[in-house]
Every structure is written in C-alpha cells, then in structure tokens.
Structure 1
C-alpha cells in the first residue's frame, strides 16, 4: 500500500499535470481498470481508454484546478482534496466547487476518482 505522502504527492501531480495540459501525465497516474465518477452519482467511466476520452474533453487549455486546502490523507489507501475548477464556456467563466476522493492500489496508481459536486456547487461569473 502506498504511504500517505505518496498518495498526497500523486494527487498534487494530478493537479499539476492538469494545469499544464499534460494529458499523458494525468493518465500515467491511473491504473488500467480505474474508474472516474464525475460527478458522484453518475455512471462511472471505467478503464484507461474511457478515462482517456473523458480527460481529452476537459484538459483543453481553458480549465484550471485550484486547490483550496491541503490534500488530506487517510489511514488507508485514499486521499481527498477540496478544490475549485475554473473553465471558460460560452464567453463566461464557470467555477465548480468540488471535493475529489481518490483511492490507490499497492503500486500507488489511482483505482478510483470520485468528484463530489452538485448543481448548487457551480457558479457563473
């Protein structure tokens, strides 16, 4: 099992890769059979090919992640982070306030990412 620090480092790498529009960097953090549920309560995207297509849509040069608090560890194989995602759409800035929870396998790769946000967690500037 990865250490708490390895989990936090991987989660920060996720943010850094996203903000650098580094799709390959993001994908390298995921296990082959990982899932992404964004937002929580929707059908999960499963497997590296589907996750690649998901991130191709959002890693677009117009979207940035801003961490709101330090990344939180756990006594197990997961971590959580509070953040907001800012993106440009139709001439406006949209901000999504999100909690992301990630679980990791013994090799330190993400096995699941769940993003918790609802309609009331979005704002338009």
Structure 2
C-alpha cells in the first residue's frame, strides 16, 4: 500500500482533532499502531505500545470534558508525516499545541509528539 500521501495525512490528522473534540478515546486509539510511541509533551518519557497509550488517553482525555479546534492548516509531507496546530479547551483552561505524527503503511500513527509547555496554557 505504501505510506499515506500528503492529502491522506491531512485527512488523518484532521480526523484526530475531531476525535479529540468529541472525546472519543476509543476512536483515537484505533488510529494508533500497536507498537506506537507518544511523547506528550516532548521532553517527557515516551510512552511505548498501545496499552500505555490507552492508559494515557483514558486518564487524560477520558477523565475530563474537552473541546478541540484546528488553529491552522495541517502541514503534511510526502512520506507519511505531518504537523497539526490546534487548541484544546479543558475546564477553564486552553492549551495551544502542535502535534507531529508519523504514519505507517496502514495509515496508523506510529509516533506522535506533542509540542507544548506551561507557556501554552492560559485561562479562557
């Protein structure tokens, strides 16, 4: 099949943000490869494998009411990678983040790195 095209990467990453907005943890997990890694935020110890990733999303996204919206276009490469800027609102706080993802030949996320720190969190 080959790696996703740039257009497919854009669609996959837009879908990810929609799933975050809907709080759809199971939908998000279905986008990940079994042996994927997540570094959220970059600098934290990477999570490895779907079980660790599932626990991360269930404890975070699954435990609170959130909304998410794109804040710019998805940037995509021709080799199955992309970056998506978006804003997540949870409770009284908002977080501006850029997620960088690499996809495998099945269109599943093989790695995700979230670029943010406390300087990107503000009251809404």
Q: TM-score if structure 2 supplies the norm length?
A: 0.91
Which runs of 5 or more residues in structure 1 are unaligned? none
CA distance in 2, matches of 1:79, 1:58: 23
Contact 2:32/2:50 (<8 A) preserved: yes
Aligned length: 121
TM-score by length of 1: 0.90
Corresponding position: 1:36 with 2:35:
no
Consecutive unaligned residues of structure 2, counting only runs of 5 or more, are none
Note the 1:50-89 alignment, pairs <5 A: 50-60=52-62, 61-88=64-91
Cα offset for 1:7? 1.1
Q: CA deviation at 1:69?
A: 0.5
> How large is the Cα RMSD of the aligned pairs?
1.2
Moved over 4 A (4+): none
1:95 alignment partner in structure 2? 94
